[in-house]
Structure 1
Amino acid sequence: MSANASAPQGRPTPPPAAPPSDKELVLKVIPMPADTNGNGDIFGGWVMAQVDLAGSVIPARIIGGRMATVAVNEFVFKQPVRVGDICSFFSAVKRIGRTSITVDVEVFTESFRSQGTFVKVTEACLTYVAIDENGKPTPIQRQD
């Protein structure tokens, strides 16, 4: 079955895309029916929460301690996510500052029936800050 055959009537299927080669695969997750909105698509808030988790993976590795999300600099929903889609989250560091790290995250989906055919559904840019035990910003101790 082609990707077009599984699309609901009236909703065009976007062209296939290739996952980014310049970002790291940091998370894969499959949304379930409890994650849907009134239209039957996955809640944008669910996608945002997963993006926040995915975006934190590389900064956590660099910071090696506590951190907090301090900004969602950009968030673009390009296509809806459907129940059962395999969602792949790719991330890369955009900038490392004195106490903060900014990352780009791209989300691609593939259906079980057409695995290997990816559709870019979301892109975002988030900033995380290293914090101490009191929740105050602390310098990042870079290990490079």
Structure 2
Amino acid sequence: MTDKPQGELTLQTVPMPADTNANGDIFGGWVLSQMDIAGGVAAHRRSGGRTATVAINAMRFHAPVLVGDLFTVYTSILRTGTTSMTIHVEAWVQRPALSAPIQVTEADFTFVAIESSGVKRPLPPAP
């Protein structure tokens, strides 16, 4: 866990009441889906096309996400292979009452570049 976000700002949104669990906090599955979307954006940029999530390492939630938080996701490419890439994804929130952002969770997502038919394809050379 770090004290400030690392990587490129890839997604920002505000969670709504419909995204809450029975305790009134934002549902963990919603957080994971937003992180997967942001990772997919970064993977698409690097691959120049369609990608699929193939793995997510373990996640630990450090803080809850509340309705009205500014939810931000940062991404950075850790590794690339012939057809796959591992992207580090961090989720943070900014609350109106707090001056510093709070890290919610982080994980490494692995994506594979695919053709429209769904078969793997090589990644293009790095820019």
TM more than 0.5 = yes
Q: In structure 2, which of residues 36, 57, 78 is the aligned counterpart of residue 52 of structure 1?
A: 36
Q: Distance in 2 between matches of 1:75 and 1:93?
A: 18
Q: Residue 74 of structure 1 contacts residue 126 of structure 1 at CA under 8 Å; is this kept in 2?
A: no
- Does residue 30 of structure 2 align to residue 34 of structure 1? no
- Does residue 82 of structure 2 align to residue 130 of structure 1? no
Structure 1: any 5+ residue segments left out of the alignment?
1-16
1:143 Cα deviation from its structure 2 partner: 4.2
Identity %: 46
Structure 2: any 5+ residue segments left out of the alignment?
none
Q: Distance in 2 between matches of 1:88 and 1:50?
A: 9
Q: Distance in 1 between matches of 2:11 and 2:75?
A: 9
Q: Distance in 1 between matches of 2:96 and 2:75?
A: 23
Q: Distance in 1 between matches of 2:114 and 2:62?
A: 33
- Does residue 67 of structure 2 align to residue 78 of structure 1? no
Count matched residues.
126
Q: Distance in 2 between matches of 1:24 and 1:89?
A: 8
Q: Deviations over 1:32-82 (max 9, x none)?
A: 000000001000000000000111122111111111111112322111111
Q: Distance in 2 between matches of 1:72 and 1:18?
A: 22
Give the alignment's TM-score, normalised by structure 1: 0.82
Q: Residue 62 of structure 1 contacts residue 142 of structure 1 at CA under 8 Å; is this kept in 2?
A: no
- Does residue 91 of structure 2 align to residue 107 of structure 1? yes
Secondary structure (helix, strand or coil) at the match of 2:104 reads strand
- Does residue 51 of structure 2 align to residue 67 of structure 1? yes
1:108 Cα deviation from its structure 2 partner: 1.0
Secondary structure (helix, strand or coil) at the match of 1:77 reads coil
1:19 match: 5
Aligned residue type for 2:91: V
Q: Deviations over 1:20-39 (max 9, x none)?
A: 3xx10111111000000000
1:139 match: 122
Give the alignment's TM-score, normalised by structure 2: 0.92
Aligned residue type for 2:121: T
